[in-house]
Structure 1
Amino acid sequence: MQKVQSDIMTFRGSHFDLGVETGKWMKQTRLLQNREKEWKKRLPRFDIDANETHSIFQTYAPQIWEELIGMREVLELPIRQIVFNFAHYRFTPIKKDSGCTVFLGNDYLVRNYDYHPATYDGRYLLYQPNDGGYAQIGPTSRVTGRMDGLNGEGLAMGYNFMHRKKPANGFVCYMIGRLILELCKNTEEAIQLLSEIPHRSSFSYIMMDKNLNHAIVEVSPRDINVRYDRTCTNHFKLLTHENRNYTKESKERLARTLKQTDIQMDKRKAFELFNNPEYEIYSKLFSSWSGTIHTSMYNPETMEAWIALGENGTPVQIDFNKWLAGNELNIHSFDGYIDTEIQFASK
């Protein structure tokens, strides 16, 4: 059992200045060094077009491009390398058949993020921009992306991997998660955004807004459909023709989740259900790219965000409204235990 830790970073200001602060954080970690081998091995195989990437960001989120430029200023990397590693457009890093489980209670979204620890940033970010885009709280993914979170308008988001078949030019999942939080104030706007942007591969995106409207949007590079269920694992229910060949484990985990949940379930019980391995929703398959790294929960009405690293954790609870009103946090990190020796990317 390994003790792991995530930094908490808070920032108010422009996206460019956030990029500068992010670059400073990266220079204090081993994240750049840990990914250097992958860069050297894979960069020559991929045709990176910085101009195309700049153009797509100008269309959807020009402020995020400014964040990339701020990072470049501190890290002193060529723009091609910044685009390759942090723009998350067209290029998909090594990705196995990962897990993840989401349940929508009456007034909350709870999810397990199941993946490989060596890809995990170990950074939790609260950001209040002054140059466009909504404020956000949640763990970062590949530095500039988000795998789940809550924004200042009360929209909560998470996503689940479906498959890697037949990718297309488009944004990858963690940048799409960022775009949802950055640009959408409710579930309806998130559905509209997902129908407009180009997608690299196939995922389900799960949203709940402050009016408790919710949706699970099934997306592939070729198709999109919306369902209004409250549970999601790693197979499509509508776009079944897009499913991976092996869905047995995902369907079994979905059945266990359905059996143990109901819409009126208390959020504390739901969090325990997801975070305690004995209920068999939490996963320890870390070496198979499907171990639960964190359990998170978001309440759009109260603007609460909970998170715990690893198993059987006491969740860190943050009142996002209070932070947005100017009250600073009194904690700068949190820790937990995962049953593997594989270390986070930043450690």
Structure 2
Amino acid sequence: MVKGLSNFEIDILQLRTTSYEIGLSLGKHLKDKRIIDVFNTLTKPEINMNHFHYLFSSLSPSLIDELQGLSEGLQLPYEKVAAMFSGYDVPKLSNMGCSAFVDHRYYVRNYDFSPDIYDGLLLLLDPKSALASCGYSLQIIGRHDGVNETGLAIGLHFVNNQEYQEGIAAWTSVRMVLDTCKSVEEAIDLLKDIPHAACYNFSLGDSKGNYAAVEVSPEKVLIRKDPSFISCVNHFQNTDMEKKNRAHIEGSLKRSEYIRNLKSQSLSMEETFRKFSDKHSPLFFTNYDNLFGILHTFAYSFEEKILIINIAQGNNNLIINFEEWVRGNNIKESKLTGHIEALV
């Protein structure tokens, strides 16, 4: 068998309505898609609904409304939908790879995993009871990464799940931040309040020029800042957290060093985006069979309020004036297309 290129496509949805109606629309869109069966297989048949409701009611109540709408759209019981898509008490999932560069000018991030466990959705949402945001969905209501209407950008970076406990998944934490926080400091405060299920990094930047990496485990949350920029990958860098890293982090260390070297080149966001998304880049991986191939690249300019988005080996970058979108001007695109290397 040899490797060849396989078509890769994601949908773009734009929704401006109540959280319940957003969930309803998502459910109808996803009702017969394979990803529903995937998460049915990966999640528990039921979760502790009392614990779930207590946490979500205090941290992000609009997500409860969205899950209720999703239940109707999918025509599945609410308790089942909460277990499948809330991101609460999810069983341990396989490792994910992610790399990010953040400074006062822009945020750029890659996501590496398998297309078999990928929602294939870019969502632009303007809920009536939460902040407008744009991001790639994970487990439907969660986000890999994204930015909200205030210019706060965030992404997740898997570190370890050895300390896994009942709690909230990193992708749901990303969504809660996007829905409710207006600055890096507000996001840090929320991430300190969330009961985290596993060890993750969160890369953060905002329109005020602030940026940070938040290193979280089920037992503690530490902040990492730097006067020039943040390189965020798949290992903890705070001394007090290093013992929680996986035994083999050589790849993560190499990516971090490469990103650090980019800072000295004083690149524009577009140039940095190419360093992340180009198939010849040291940050571009195609090991999809082992859950480590690039699926998308996401960038946001804090100064220009512009998004640049692409998926693996996509023909064209999608450029979105997010400030204009928030004002009510929808984009015309409904799909992104690219290619991944697969055994044929």
Alpha-carbon offset, residue 197 of structure 1:
1.1
Q: Paired residue for 1:11?
A: 15
Q: Paired residue for 1:110?
A: 108
Q: Paired residue for 2:52?
A: 53
Q: Does 1:231 align with 2:228?
A: no
CA distance in 2, matches of 1:240, 1:190: 23
Residue 250 (structure 1) aligned to one of 249, 252, 256 = 252
Number of residue pairs matched by the alignment: 335
Contact 1:105 1:265 (C-alpha < 8 Å) held by counterparts: no
Contact 1:261 1:270 (C-alpha < 8 Å) held by counterparts: no
Structure 2 gap segments, 5+ residues each: none
Alpha-carbon offset, residue 8 of structure 1:
0.8
Alpha-carbon offset, residue 106 of structure 1:
4.1
Q: Deviations over 1:118-161 (max 9, x none)?
A: 1111111111111x221101111111101100101110111111
Alpha-carbon offset, residue 51 of structure 1:
2.3
CA distance in 2, matches of 1:307, 1:151: 15
CA distance in 2, matches of 1:326, 1:78: 34
Q: Paired residue for 1:75?
A: 74
Alpha-carbon offset, residue 253 of structure 1:
1.8
Q: Paired residue for 2:88?
A: 89
Change (3 A) 1:275 1:15: same
Contact 1:153 1:210 (C-alpha < 8 Å) held by counterparts: yes
Contact 2:163 2:199 (C-alpha < 8 Å) held by counterparts: no
Q: How does 1:1-347 map to 2 (within 5 A)?
A: 1-36=5-40, 38=41, 43=44, 48-92=47-91, 94-130=92-128, 132-229=129-226, 230-238=230-238, 239-262=241-264, 264-311=266-313, 313-340=315-342
Alpha-carbon offset, residue 98 of structure 1:
2.3
Alpha-carbon offset, residue 112 of structure 1:
0.5
Alpha-carbon offset, residue 295 of structure 1:
0.8
CA distance in 2, matches of 1:19, 1:312: 28
TM-score normalised by L of structure 2: 0.93
Contact 2:88 2:169 (C-alpha < 8 Å) held by counterparts: yes
Change (3 A) 1:77 1:182: same
Change (3 A) 1:82 1:312: closer
CA distance in 1, matches of 2:104, 2:209: 8
Alpha-carbon offset, residue 57 of structure 1:
0.9
Runs of 4+ in structure 1 over 3 Å off: 33-36, 260-263
Alignment RMSD, CA only?
1.8
CA distance in 1, matches of 2:310, 2:142: 19
CA distance in 2, matches of 1:57, 1:110: 29
Q: Deviations over 1:312-332 (max 9, x none)?
A: 653101111111112121111
CA distance in 2, matches of 1:272, 1:211: 25
Contact 1:104 1:263 (C-alpha < 8 Å) held by counterparts: no
CA distance in 2, matches of 1:231, 1:271: 14
CA distance in 2, matches of 1:202, 1:237: 13
